[in-house]
C-alpha cells in the first residue's frame, strides 16, 4: 500500500523516525510487528513498527543509517522527507509478544524499536518488566526521552554492554526474554538462556545471522536433546542418526512431510516447498540448514 511520510524526526545520532499515514485506517498490528518498505530504487527493507498499535491513523518506523548501507537506509536518510510517498507491506509479526508472568527486554542500539511497543503493552497489562538498553553512546540511543516515564524499569547502558550473564544468571520460570540488537548481543543472550526453559527466549536480529556453511547445533525441545549437524549432513539425517524420530518422505525438500517448527534461530531455507516470499516459522529439515550457530526446533 502507499503511505505518505507525515513527519521525519532525528531521534538519535544517525537514526530518523518516520511517521506514515495512508489516508484511511492502517491495518492493525501487534507489538513486535514489522513492515517491508519498498523504496523507489527497488530495494525492500524491513522496519519494526515502533509507535502505538492503538493509533490506526499513523505508523512509526525508525531507520538507522548503516555504515555499509547498500542503498536502503542511505536512501531513506538522503531522500525520504515529509510529504514523500513510500510503498509498504501489511504488518507481519515474527517477534510476537507472548503471554508471560514477567518480561526481561534487552535491546541494543536501534533494536529498541520493536521493544518500545512491547514495554508499553506490558505496562498497560500490569505485567512486571525490565528493560536493559545499550548503545554506542547516549547520543546514539533513540527514544530515551520516551523511556524516562518508566523510571527504574529501564536500565540504560550508554557506551557499554548489557551485563547479560548477570541479568540472566538465574532462570526464572514464567519469564519471557525478548532481545533485539547486534549479533554479539543476541549470541550472548542466547548463550545465557541455554539453562532457561525452552521457549523463554525470543530474539530478532537486525539482519539475517551470518550464513553458516558448515556445522551447527540443533536443540530439540520435545526430546530435550542437543545434536551437532556436521557439514554435508542434513538435519534430518543427524536426527535419525541420533535415534530421534521424525516424519519424512521425499528427503529432497519438496513434499512438506518433514516441516518442523523453528522456535529459535534463523534457518537457511533450501527447500522447494515453502513460499519463500513470506516469513515462516517452520523449516524443511531434510534439506534446509542454519544461518546461525544454533537452531531450536519443536521436535
Kindly list the residues in this chain that would bind ligand FES in the complex (CB under 6 A): 248-251, 253-258, 271, 273, 284, 286
Q: Round to whole Å and give the CA distance between 121 and 33.
A: 13
Contact of 289 with 212, CB cutoff 8 Å = yes
147 or 229, CB closer to ligand FES? 229
49 or 235, CB closer to ligand FES? 235
C-alpha angle 37/141/167, rounded to 5°?
Answer: 105
Nearest to 189 by CA among 179, 198, 176: 179
Contact of 20 with 59, CB cutoff 8 Å = yes
User: What is the widest separation between alpha-carbon atoms in the chain?
Assistant: 60
107 or 285, CB closer to ligand FES? 285
In the complex, the smallest distance separating the C-beta of residue 248 from ligand FES, rounded to whole angstroms, is: 4
Contact of 43 with 75, CB cutoff 8 Å = yes
Contact of 121 with 97, CB cutoff 8 Å = yes
48 or 282, CB closer to ligand FES? 282
In the complex, the smallest distance separating the C-beta of residue 271 from ligand FES, rounded to whole angstroms, is: 6
Calculate the alpha carbon distances from 219 to 113, 226, 227, 238, 295 in Å: 29, 4, 6, 12, 6
C-alpha cell at 8: 521525519
In the complex, the smallest distance separating the C-beta of residue 262 from ligand FES, rounded to whole angstroms, is: 14
In the complex, the smallest distance separating the C-beta of residue 209 from ligand FES, rounded to whole angstroms, is: 23
Backbone angles phi, psi at 232, to 5 degrees: 85, -5
107 or 258, CB closer to ligand FES? 258
Sign for the pseudo-dihedral over CA of 69, 73, 77, 79? positive
86 or 236, CB closer to ligand FES? 236
Q: Round to whole Å and give the CA distance between 38 and 46.
A: 9
In the complex, the smallest distance separating the C-beta of residue 237 from ligand FES, rounded to whole angstroms, is: 11
94 or 250, CB closer to ligand FES? 250
96 or 247, CB closer to ligand FES? 247
Estimate to the nearest angstrom the gap between the alpha carbon of 151 and the chain centroid.
25
In the complex, the smallest distance separating the C-beta of residue 288 from ligand FES, rounded to whole angstroms, is: 9
In the complex, the smallest distance separating the C-beta of residue 42 from ligand FES, rounded to whole angstroms, is: 32
In the complex, the smallest distance separating the C-beta of residue 218 from ligand FES, rounded to whole angstroms, is: 15
Sign for the pseudo-dihedral over CA of 191, 192, 195, 196? negative
Amino acid at each position: 500500500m502507499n503511505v505518505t511520510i507525515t513527519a521525519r524526526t532525528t531521534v538519535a545520532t544517525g537514526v530518523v523516525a518516520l511517521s506514515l499515514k495512508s489516508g484511511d485506517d492502517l491495518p492493525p498490528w501487534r507489538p513486535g510487528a514489522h513492515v517491508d518498505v519498498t523504496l523507489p530504487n527497488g530495494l525492500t527493507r524491513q522496519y519494526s513498527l515502533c509507535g502505538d498499535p492503538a493509533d490506526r491513523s499513523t505508523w512509526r518506523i525508525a531507520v538507522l543509517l548503516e555504515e555499509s548501507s547498500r542503498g536502503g537506509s542511505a536512501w531513506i536518510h538522503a531522500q525520504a522527507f515529509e510529504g514523500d510517498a513510500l510503498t509498504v507491506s501489511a504488518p507481519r509479526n515474527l517477534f510476537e509478544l507472548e503471554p508471560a508472568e514477567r518480561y526481561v527486554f534487552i535491546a541494543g542500539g536501534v533494536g529498541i524499536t520493536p521493544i518500545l511497543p512491547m514495554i508499553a503493552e506490558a505496562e498497560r497489562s500490569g505485567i512486571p518488566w525490565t528493560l536493559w538498553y545499550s548503545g554506542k553512546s547516549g547520543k546514539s540511543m533513540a527514544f530515551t526521552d520516551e523511556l524516562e516515564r518508566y523510571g527504574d524499569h529501564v536500565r540504560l547502558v550508554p557506551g557499554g554492554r548489557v551485563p547479560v550473564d548477570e541479568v540472566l544468571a538465574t532462570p526464572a520460570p514464567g519469564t519471557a526474554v525478548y532481545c533485539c540488537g547486534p549479533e554479539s548481543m543476541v549470541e550472548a543472550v542466547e548463550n545465557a538462556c541455554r539453562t532457561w526453559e525452552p521457549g523463554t527466549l525470543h530474539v530478532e536480529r537486525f539482519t539475517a545471522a551470518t550464513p553458516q556453511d558448515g556445522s551447527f547445533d540443533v536443540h530439540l525441545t520435545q526430546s530435550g536433546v542437543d545434536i551437532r549437524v556436521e557439514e554435508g549432513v542434513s538435519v534430518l539425517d543427524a536426527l535419525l542418526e541420533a535415534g530421534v524420530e521424525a516424519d519424512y518422505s521425499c528427503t529432497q525438500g519438496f513434499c512438506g512431510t518433514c516441516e518442523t517448527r523453528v522456535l529459535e534461530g534463523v534457518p537457511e531455507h533450501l527447500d522447494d516447498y515453502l513460499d519463500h516470499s513470506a516469513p515462516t516459522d517452520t523449516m524443511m529439515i531434510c534439506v534446509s540448514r542454519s544461518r546461525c550457530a544454533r537452531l531450536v526446533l519443536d521436535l
